[in-house]
Structure 1
Amino acid sequence: MSKKIMRKTVTSRPVTILDVAAAAKLSKSTVSLVLKGSPLIPAETADRVRAAASELGYVYNSRAGELRGGRSKTIGVVVNDLANPFFAEILVGVERKLVEAGYIVLMAHTNEDVDRQRDVLRIMREQGAAGTVLCPAYGTPRAFTKEVEASGMPLVVMVRTLGPGKYDFAGADNERGIYAATKHLLDAGHKKIGFLGGLTGVVLEQRLNGFRAALAERKIKFDESLVVAAQPTRRSGSEAMRSLLDMKPRPTAAVCYNDVVAFGALSALGERGLHAGRDFALTGFDNVRDAAHSNPPLTTVDIQPDALGEHAATLLLNRIQEPARARQVYLAEPQLVIRQSA
């Protein structure tokens, strides 16, 4: 005798939040709060909602929720040089903090182009970004932050300060960090010390101030010829070191604008048959992960890039929640990490 097989009729109607509420035996408003990530709902209830949604194949449309609530969950993060591992490490910290807070990160790279930076921020405003974290490109005018503020989009500037202003800022105590690195070289007996890297801007001024202060403390005259301006890249660091090594008498040590410049300087030393830490002392700034694994490992100023990114994100989240709060400033306390290069 044949058996009749009962088949369930499959409909094409999309699963709605009402279906999830019915399956979980809860109200629509409770389900909605759970799907939005509200901390007000007990964990057991939230688990019931998520289990029901998963069973039914329901996917929460967060963008539709943003449109209904009038509040974007997208944050723009604009960096100037992704080729520099320092900014990649900062980006990791920024993104982690923002994602934990329920935001989606829209990242853009300006490649040190001020016009591109302006276009990127305009597009982010047009896309309704809830706020932006910006590391300014070289040459960004100080009035730029006022333009962004006038648009109503919350802004946090990081790493490179743009001078006086009302904007929130996350960076490091550059002067103190370079002072510590220079003092370390002076304590080791070096008197003719070069400074490699950096082109212009407030950050360079601050780092040179730290360099000068350490020299002045030992009554060593600041020599402008020992400052070799260069792009903050490996290639430019290598070229700057060659220029320094060609001087007569030759300096015995150098402070680098950042770790990437120092990596280039290390390669130039190798080309001349010199070994950092034995024939020449070298320090960096940032303490990117590669600094501990260069050849030799690099003595550098640690400002914890990953944590700096998290702090920048926190400042922006605070600003979004409390638009009228006082200006926020976070400065990482630099710590000298001594390795074999100096």
Structure 2
Amino acid sequence: MPRSSPARPVTIHDVAAAAHVSKSTVSLVLNDSPLIPQDTAQRVRQAAAKLGYVYNRRASQLRGGSSNTIAVVINDLMNPFFAEILVGLERKLVDAGYTVLMAHTNEDVRRQDRVLQTMREQGAAGLLLCPAYGTPSSLPQQVRRWGIPMVVMVRTLGPGSYDFAGADNERGVFEATLHLLDAGHRRIGFLGGQTGIVLEQRLKGYKAALAARKVKPNPALMIASKPNREGGYDTMQALLKTKATAAICYNDVVAFGALAALGERGLRAGADFALVGFDNVLDAAHSNPPLSTVDVHPGQLGEHAAGFLLGRITDPSLARQVYIAEPTLRIRQSA
């Protein structure tokens, strides 16, 4: 018994013939062009649905040299701060008709380089980057040569003409430290953080507040660590040996680890020791006790970064766009 030939796939030519229009008209309709009259567009879509035609948008983008994919490269997805940024920017980008492709570098510059090359090969329409520690300041110029619009988030890469969305780290820590000083604390620690411009900015705010109240900085109270829970736990254990009565943490995740160390010692933040975090992630209001923190509105930061990228895609000649989130000190039970 002879075998039947496989069914021929339905093509754009078949849709054009069934709708009695040209191939270019079908293409315009399937790309949601406003140039085609509504009744013609409806006829084309009905013909495509009847024939079972499936539009390969990716193939069309490759033919046209464009893409509807935005690459988002995050340095530390284990930190909920970055996840909240991602939620904000994804909401903005999806509403604009883009698909978000996310990658995590885990603070590895070599991995970041591989990810960026892959995004370039995939023809990403734009790039949003939270740079890993050690990212060279030349990266924005390199990506510009690729012809890909980019917005840098959270960590500045130094002077340049690239678009940037971040927060006023120095001001936020200055206000938090001043709050503790005005509450009577004089031995205030700074916990967490290892390197980078963000740490430098936050330490600058910490030292400026001490200077404003004529308190000499004590290196023994500034303890570096990875900016995670384990780092917060370890640095708090070390700080408790110095007779400190309060601490500013590099971020909220470090503060959560510090809370655990206090609890293990039978101490309660707010009653026995004053503790302040940074970022105001969602869990901060629901920790035990609720964590005082510097709110830099991560969701809004993500939305601004996405808006900058959309603007840059639409008009590459725009002047440099910069958003610096104004910090808000959220006083809760821990301080």
Query: Same-fold call, TM > 0.5?
Result: yes
Tell me how far 1:55 sits from its aligned partner: 5.2
Q: Find out whether 1:188 has 2:183 as its counterpart.
A: yes
Tell me how far 1:169 sits from its aligned partner: 0.7
Tell me how far 1:300 sits from its aligned partner: 0.9
After TM superposition, the structure 1 stretch with the greater mean CA deviation from structure 2, 18-27 or 133-142, is 18-27
Aligned residue for 1:5? none
Task: Give, in whole Å, the separation in 2 of the partners of 1:30 and 1:303.
Answer: 48
Aligned residue for 1:329? 322
Aligned residue for 2:124? 129
Task: Give, in whole Å, the separation in 2 of the partners of 1:25 and 1:290.
Answer: 58
Secondary structure (helix, strand or coil) at the match of 1:264 reads helix
Aligned residue for 1:287? 280
Aligned residue for 1:262? 255
Q: What one-letter code is carried by the residue in structure 2 that aligns with 1:328?
A: Q
Aligned residue for 1:103? 98
Tell me how far 1:127 sits from its aligned partner: 1.8
Tell me how far 1:59 sits from its aligned partner: 2.6
Q: Pick closer, same or farther for the CA change 1:136–1:17 going to 2, 3 Å.
A: same
Q: Pick closer, same or farther for the CA change 1:333–1:29 going to 2, 3 Å.
A: farther
Q: Kindly provide the CA deviation profile for residues 164-198 of structure 1, in whole angstroms up to 9, marking residues without a partner as x.
A: 11211111111111112112212222121111111
Q: Pick closer, same or farther for the CA change 1:331–1:324 going to 2, 3 Å.
A: same
**1:140 counterpart (129, 135, 139):** 135
**1:156 counterpart (139, 146, 151):** 151
Aligned residue for 1:63? 58
Q: What one-letter code is carried by the residue in structure 2 that aligns with 1:295?
A: N
Aligned residue for 1:209? 204
Aligned residue for 2:3? none
Q: What one-letter code is carried by the residue in structure 1 that aligns with 2:332?
A: R
Tell me how far 1:118 sits from its aligned partner: 1.0
Task: Give, in whole Å, the separation in 1 of the partners of 2:41 and 2:179.
Answer: 55
**2:265 counterpart (266, 272, 289):** 272
Q: Pick closer, same or farther for the CA change 1:273–1:51 going to 2, 3 Å.
A: farther
Task: Give, in whole Å, the separation in 2 of the partners of 1:83 and 1:226.
Answer: 27
Q: Kindly provide the CA deviation profile for residues 24-69 of structure 1, in whole angstroms up to 9, marking residues without a partner as x.
A: 7887666544532446778898777666655553332111221232
Aligned residue for 2:107? 112
Question: Superposition RMSD on alpha carbons, in Å?
Answer: 2.4
Q: Pick closer, same or farther for the CA change 1:222–1:42 going to 2, 3 Å.
A: farther
Residue segments in structure 2 that go unaligned for 5+ positions in a row: 1-5
Tell me how far 1:23 sits from its aligned partner: 7.1
Aligned residue for 1:317? 310
**2:230 counterpart (229, 235, 239):** 235
Q: What one-letter code is carried by the residue in structure 2 that aligns with 1:141?
A: P
Q: Pick closer, same or farther for the CA change 1:46–1:223 going to 2, 3 Å.
A: farther
Task: Give, in whole Å, the separation in 1 of the partners of 2:124 and 2:279.
Answer: 30
Secondary structure (helix, strand or coil) at the match of 1:170 reads strand
Aligned residue for 1:173? 168
**1:198 counterpart (178, 193, 208):** 193
Percent of pairs with identical residues: 71
Residue segments in structure 1 that go unaligned for 5+ positions in a row: 1-10
Q: Pick closer, same or farther for the CA change 1:319–1:273 going to 2, 3 Å.
A: same
Aligned residue for 1:226? 221
Secondary structure (helix, strand or coil) at the match of 2:119 reads helix
Task: Give, in whole Å, the separation in 2 of the partners of 1:121 and 1:202.
Answer: 22
Q: Pick closer, same or farther for the CA change 1:279–1:142 going to 2, 3 Å.
A: same
Task: Give, in whole Å, the separation in 2 of the partners of 1:219 and 1:235.
Answer: 32
Q: Pick closer, same or farther for the CA change 1:42–1:258 going to 2, 3 Å.
A: farther
Q: What one-letter code is carried by the residue in structure 2 that aligns with 1:106?
A: L
Q: Does the 8 Å CA contact 2:236/2:261 hold for their aligned counterparts?
A: yes
Task: Give, in whole Å, the separation in 2 of the partners of 1:44 and 1:301.
Answer: 55
After TM superposition, the structure 1 stretch with the greater mean CA deviation from structure 2, 149-158 or 233-242, is 149-158
Q: Pick closer, same or farther for the CA change 1:183–1:166 going to 2, 3 Å.
A: same
Q: Pick closer, same or farther for the CA change 1:39–1:96 going to 2, 3 Å.
A: farther
Q: Kindly provide the CA deviation profile for residues 193-243 of structure 1, in whole angstroms up to 9, marking residues without a partner as x.
A: 111111111111111111122222212222222111111100011101111
Task: Give, in whole Å, the separation in 2 of the partners of 1:190 and 1:341.
Answer: 14
Aligned residue for 1:307? 300
Q: Pick closer, same or farther for the CA change 1:28–1:175 going to 2, 3 Å.
A: same
Task: Give, in whole Å, the separation in 2 of the partners of 1:93 and 1:44.
Answer: 37
Query: How many equivalent residue pairs?
Result: 330
Task: Give, in whole Å, the separation in 2 of the partners of 1:192 and 1:24.
Answer: 79
Aligned residue for 1:8? none
